[in-house]
Chain A
Amino acid sequence: MSQASVLAEAKSSAEILLDTQDLTKVYQTGEVEVHALRGINLTVQIGELIVLLGASGSGKSTLLNIIGGLDTPTSGKVTFLDEDITNLSASALTRYRRAHVGFIFQFYNLVPSLTARENVALVTEISSNPIPPEDALSMVGLADRMHHFPAQLSGGEQQRVAVARAIAKRPNLLLCDEPTGALDSKTGVQVLEALKTVNEELGATTLIITHNVGIADMSDRVIRLSDGMIIEEKQMGRRRQPSELSW
């Protein structure tokens, strides 16, 4: 056994949630090959709140999709809680997402025919140890809007329902792709507050993709991607409150 793997094993048994090794992703579009990821090595500790920064096309969404089990890498390896998830089948990836991952998207993606509570219940019904939908909604400050349909909620409220839905199954990993991208600063802050609460109270490891450099200040670590590679990794000192962030 090599020294590196011994080291990795020691680490994982302590606190490593996710680890990627030399992750690459190449899309073939017509005659052109697009190298979306060019060798990403990233280790995520349990409970961390990480902000991924980068311009459009830097590869951050691709990375998030691979980590979240929506896509598979061209080469490299993804390990989640010691398990190699790199080449899982579609149904195994579904099980992985179902058990471990919560997603939050820029455009909320709530089910329009279900109320806020029902949107959360949708996920809790297929989870083994969920938070009751009502509690999840309370956690994001929406207890009183529980019986409203998405069309009756503001954008920020809808995104908070999405947060509640993502965390109600107690995911190990919460992946947020531009969660405040469609929101103004005031409602954006409310959503970030919700994410922070969830991260602290449930200990869910959280990865947030954003263009908004200001959000970095609420994280433990900031990773900057460019052209499919990590170009900067910065451990943050004190995590700031979302309300203190400069937008």
Chain B
Amino acid sequence: MVGFLRALDRKLLRDLWRLKGQGIAVGIIIACGVGIMIMALGSLASLEESRSTYYERYRFADVFADVKRAPNQIVGEIREIDGVKSAETRITRIVTLDLADFNEPANAQLVSLPDEGQPTLNNVMLHEGRWPDLARPEEAIVSRAFAQEHDYHSGDRIRAIFNGRTRDIEIVGIGDSPEYVWTLGIGGLLPDDKRFGVFWMRRQALERAFDLEGAFNNVTVSLLPNAVEADVISRLDNMLAPYGAVGAYNREDQFSNAFVESEMGQLVAMAAIIPPVFLVVSALLIHAILSRLIAVERQQIGLLKAFGFSNLEVAAHYVKLAVVLSLGGVLAGFVLGRTLARLLTHLYSNTMRFPEIVHVFEPSAFVIGAGAAIVAAVIGALNAALKAAALQPAEAMNPAPPTVYRRGGILPLWLTNKLDEPTRMIVRHITRWPIRAAMTTFGIAASMALLVGTLFAFDSTDEMIDTIYYRTDVYDAAVTFAEIEDETALSELDRVPGVLEVEPTRDVYVRFRNGVHSERGSITGIRSDAKYKRLLDRKETPVSVAESGLTMTSHLASLLNIGLGERLTVEFLEGKRPVLDIPITAVVEEYIGHAAYMNIEELGRVMGESRTITGAFLALDPDLSIEFNDAILDRPQVASVALRSAVIETFNETLEETITIMMMIYAVIGGAIAAGVVYNAARISLTERGRELASLRVLGFTHGEVSYVLLGEQAMLAIIAIPIGSLLGTAFAHLIVLGMSTDLYRVPYVLEPSTRGFAAAVVLVAVFLAAVLVANRIRNLDLIEVLKTRE
């Protein structure tokens, strides 16, 4: 018995060898599915590990709060709050930089270090150099990405503008901190390391520079394991309210962490949405391969049963074959997944500044990937294996009855009659095996759907950039002031060379409340006739900010569960800190954040202030950009300057590599499905119809004409599959929009015809390549042998 089983296993190996072409095709598809799962879960694990190690080792805080100016003494009270483990006060400030090697405005986030030693929270990881000397107030540690971008090293000097005064800063160290993994540039969505750096300096130096002796403007807190975060935040808010607090927030709202989290969420979505498509298709292919194999081996199965093999043994034999077949794909998927994970983490290093991204071997990713692939293979094999088990030995040993074809079928007779014979053969073959044709069609459609459903993201990104930077935020430069200013600051800006027009803004931190719903946020005051900051309604038509009441993004409205015309409680966190009920008078759409707007005059009025401004949008004369860049830095009030052109440039630069690499990956793996499906279907057809095709060759049909009979079917199915796949892809894209949208931004659903066209082209190329492979096998048909034997 054991001897027989061994022989059966040898048969299994030989079957596999014979099926190697198809095995490879299925293997590639499984490898893609498993690979993407491992890539996503592996990268997720790597990010999680990198993040938690970094956060832990460098003591990333749990709660953050900014104030205008609070006395140092109250830190004791903060430490007393229930659940607070430690608290550290700091001075933080954004300043402009005047870089010798760079002719555009750049900004730095200044963060104070304690006067002695290292921070107890949000510590700096020093890559090179040393900590600043207290006695030398000009010394700073500079963030690594910024230093790399400008090729700065210890000993280099940078000019910064502190409160209108030029200061020479000496770089003594290069470092990073868990607070700035994602160093969001001013006015952008992506890190811009050319124009934005973090500078850590001794506190005394910053106290003196910003008149904050004995005071702080930022506090960070770490919590005890059992702390109730919300309670700590509200205690902190109460305690800091008198000092111009604008609302404490947790890690979820900390920009850097929120962006990292959002990337991780996308990985989870990717792992959940994409691999199942591959695994379903692989199951279908395994089903097709085994069904055909069992048809070919019908007589052998009869023989095995006659020898005394049980039905279970026969079924197990074929299931085993499917499992072995899928194992090859799983192993390839492991390798692919590891490689893709490395590639992805490399891409992440463009945006995320971890000291290093740890490559974690995540066993669960491998177990889940392998498990899912094998389960899919077994499901695919089961139906065919059960059919093998159900064969009656005596009947099985007879040849299968001939295939009966019918005229017409789904096509009307008049149409069938118009076709030439080879095309008629194609149509009859499709209608004779409709389920098989449907599976092939589905497989190709899945490929198309996957391509459409992934490539659309680039259209969405384009749409986001287009909407934000060409339709709503159409200023040339956005300036923020260090302090709240009056309108004289505007006229000063107006006098800066190169400035054509100035439009004021007033940003004020608030807390919105609607019953149980509460959100920390801000209201931006703009003019009703604002030209450089525009708002769009649902239909993307420009609307102006309402003269009275709040204009709010639909996202914020939904967070607050409130609608147009309803009234909302707004706690202003600045100035006289009024608490007011304000009606919502307009709802607008924005892809990013959850903003709210008011008419700037109305905002000043309800806050009981005269005309105050915190920044301005500028229109610039492009011919005077050098003059502007020079002059704007001398304005004492200006804390930051963001050029729209720079933001767009960063967007394009950062995304260019990512988009190219991801497009290639998607195109290859998406195309792999179509190629695998078509190759398989054509190979199965070839084994079934080799004799038929050889006789056509003998009759004088050319290689091309015979290939048409076999491959025309696949081409026809591909043509049917592409529109179906396009529709499925639309649904898929909508699913991904849901999966990828986070609190930070909403991914718009945009799918350009050119993207569908590109996806269709990828599918057709893949189908063509698979067809060429099979056509080569047709060339090798042994005409003489085939014709001599009976079917």
Q: Which of A5-13, A116-124, A197-205 contacts B (4 or more CB under 8 A)?
A: A116-124
Q: Indicate which residue in A112, A125, A147, A165 contacts B403 across the interface (CB closer than 8 Å).
A: A112
Question: In the complex, are the beta carbons of B790 and A98 less than 8 A apart?
Answer: no
Q: Kindly state whether residue A103 has any CB partner on chain B within 8 Å.
A: yes
A161 at the interface (CB under 8 A from B): no
Evaluate whether A151 and B404 lie within 8 angstroms (CB atoms) in the complex, with A107-B789, A111-B695 already known: yes
A182 to B705, CA, bound (A): 30
The stretch of B273-281, B417-425, B759-767 that contacts the partner chain:
B417-425
In whole angstroms, how far apart are the Cα atoms of A165 and B5 in the complex? 49
- From the candidates B425, B429, B699, B790, name the one contacting A103 in the complex (CB within 8 A): B699
B403-430 contacts to A (CB < 8 Å)? 403-407, 420-422, 424-425, 428-429
A65 proximal to B (CB < 8 A) = yes
| Contact of A147 (CB < 8 Å), options: B407, B421, B432, B703 | B407
A118 touches B421 (CB 8 A): yes
Q: Which applies to chain B's interface (DSSP): helix, strand, loop or mixed?
A: helix
Contact pick for A111, options B425, B784, B789, CB 8 Å: B425
Encode B64-98 as 1/0 by CB contact (under 8 A) with A. 00000000000000000000000000000000000
Taking a contact as CB atoms under 8 Å apart, the answer to whether B402 and A122 are in contact is no
Contact, CB under 8 Å: B692 / A94: no
A136 to B: closest C-beta gap in Å: 14
Q: Does B791 contact A (CB under 8 A)?
A: yes
A103 touches B698 (CB 8 A): yes
**A91, CB-defined interface residue at 8 Å:** yes
User: Once the chains are docked, how many angstroms separate the CA of A90 from the CA of B700?
Assistant: 11
The winner among B425, B695, B700 for most chain A CB atoms within 10 A is B700
Contacts of A165 in B (CB 8 A): 699
B254 near A: Cβ within 8 Å? no
Given the interface pairs A70-B783, A126-B700, A165-B699, the reply to whether A109 lies near B425 with Cβ below 8 Å is: no
Known contacts A118-B424, A125-B420; is-contact A113 B432 (Cβ 8 Å)? yes
Query: Is the Cβ of B703 less than 8 Å from the Cβ of A150?
Result: no
Residues from chain B with Cβ under 8 Å of A115 in the complex: 407
Given the complex, which residues of A lie within 8 Å of B406, measured CB to CB?
Answer: 149
With an 8 A cutoff between CB atoms, is A99 at the interface? yes
- Out of B691, B699, B788, B789, which one reaches A97, CB within 8 Å? B699
> A111 and B701 in contact (CB under 8 A), knowing A122-B421, A122-B422?
no
Q: In whole angstroms, how far apart are the Cα atoms of A91 and B407 in the complex?
A: 33
The answer to whether B696 has its CB under 8 Å from any CB of chain A is yes
CB of A109 within 8 A of CB of B691, answer: yes
Which A-chain residue is minimally distant from B425 (CB atoms)?
A: A113
Q: Which of B421, B698, B700 contacts A114 (CB 8 A)?
A: B421
Q: A70-B783, A114-B428, A118-B424 are in contact. Are A149 and B404 (CB under 8 A)?
A: yes
A111 touches B696 (CB 8 A): yes
Decide if A94 touches B702 in the complex (CB within 8 Å): yes
Q: How far is the CA of A150 from the CA of B695 in the complex (A)?
A: 14
Look across to chain A and name the residue whose beta carbon is closest to the beta carbon of B694: A109
CB–CB A97/B425 < 8 A: no
Contact of A122 among B407, B699, B702 (CB under 8 A): B699
Instruction: Sort chain A's interface into a size bin.
Output: 35 or more
Pairwise interchain contact B787-A112, C-beta atoms closer than 8 A: no
| Known interface pairs A107-B790, A109-B787, A114-B421; A98-B402 also in contact (CB < 8 Å) | no
Asked if B251 is at the interface of the complex by the 8 Å CB criterion, the answer is: no
- A71 proximal to B (CB < 8 A): yes
| Distance to closest chain B CB from A208 (angstroms) | 16
Contact of A105 among B420, B429, B696, B787 (CB under 8 A): B787
Contacting residue for B421 out of A91, A125, A177, CB 8 A: A125
Cβ of A101 under 8 Å from chain B: yes
Closest to B403 in A: A112
Chain B nearest CB from A27 CB (Å) reads 11
Minimum CB–CB distance for A117 against chain B, Å: 10
CB-defined interface of B540-561 with A at 8 Å, one 1/0 digit per residue?
0000000000000000000000
Contacts A115-B407, A123-B700 known; A107 to B424 CB distance under 8 Å? Answer: no
Q: How far is the CA of A115 from the CA of B700 in the complex (A)?
A: 19
A147: B residues at CB distance < 8 A: 407
Residue among B406, B691, B787 with max Cβ neighbours from chain A (10 Å): B787
A113 touching B405 in the complex, CB below 8 Å, given contacts A118-B421, A122-B696: yes
- B787 CB, nearest partner CB in chain A, Å: 5
B residues 206-222 near A (Cβ < 8 Å) are none
Looking at the assembled complex, report how far the CB atom of A234 sits from the nearest CB atom of chain B, in whole angstroms. 27
Name the distance in Å between A158's Cβ and chain B's nearest Cβ. 10
User: Across the interface, do A149 and B695 meet the contact criterion of CB distance under 8 Å?
Assistant: no
- Taking a contact as CB atoms closer than 8 A, the residue among B404, B405, B700, B784 that contacts A101 in the complex is B700
On chain B, the residues within 8 Å of A112 by CB distance are 402-403, 405, 692
Q: Which residues of the other chain, B, contact A105 by a CB distance below 8 angstroms? A: 695, 787-788
B644 at the interface (CB under 8 A from A): no
Docked complex Cα distance between A113 and B691 (Å): 13
What separation, in Å, do the CA atoms of A115 and B409 have in the docked complex? 14
Asked if B153 is at the interface of the complex by the 8 Å CB criterion, the answer is no
Chain B residues with CB under 8 Å of A101's CB are: 700
Q: Are B402 and A113 in contact (CB under 8 A)?
A: no
Contacts A99-B700, A109-B695, A118-B421 given: A65-B784 contact, CB under 8 Å? yes
Provide the residues of chain B in CB contact with A71, threshold 8 Å.
Answer: 784
How far, in whole Å, are A105 and B694 apart by their CA atoms in the complex? 12
Interface flag for B697 (CB, 8 Å) = yes
Cα A109 to Cα B700 in complex, Å, equals 14
Inside 8 A of B697's CB, which chain A residues have their CB?
94
Residue of B nearest to A120 (CB): B421
A169 to B700: give the CA distance in the assembly, Å: 11
Within 8 A of B (CB), among A153-182: 165, 169, 177, 182
Q: Which residue of A91, A103, A110, A126 has the most chain B CB atoms within 10 A of its CB atom? A: A126
Which B residue sits closest to A96, measured CB to CB? B700
Which of B428, B698, B705 interacts with A70 by CB under 8 Å? Answer: B698
Chain B residues lying within 8 Å of A119, measured Cβ to Cβ, are: 421
Report the minimal beta-carbon distance from A5 to chain B, rounded to whole angstroms: 31
A182 to B694, CA, bound (A): 20
Contact of B791 among A107, A121, A152 (CB under 8 A): A107
- For B783, the closest partner residue in chain A by CB is A70
Residue of A nearest to B405 (CB): A113
Least Cβ distance of B716 to chain A in Å? 14
| Cα–Cα, bound, A119→B701 (Å) | 13
A151 touches B421 (CB 8 A): no
For chain B residues 425-444, which have a beta carbon within 8 Å of chain A?
A: 425, 428-429, 432
> Digit string of B668-708 for contact with A (CB within 8 Å is 1, else 0)?
00000000000000000000000110111111111101000
Name A98's contact: one of B700, B783, B788, B789 (CB within 8 Å). B700
Tell me which residues across on chain B come within 8 A of A109, comparing CB atoms: 691-692, 694-695, 698, 787
Q: Shortest beta-carbon distance, B697 to chain A, in Å?
A: 7
B164 to chain A, nearest CB (A): 85
- New A-B pairs, 8, CB < 8 Å, besides A123-B700, A151-B402, A151-B405: A70-B698, A70-B784, A98-B699, A113-B403, A113-B428, A114-B425, A125-B421, A177-B787
Binding site for A on B (CB under 8 A): 402-407, 420-422, 424-425, 428-429, 432, 691-692, 694-703, 705, 783-784, 787-791
A-B contact pairs, 12 of them (CB 8 A): A71-B784, A106-B788, A107-B791, A109-B787, A111-B425, A111-B692, A114-B424, A122-B422, A123-B700, A149-B406, A151-B402, A177-B787
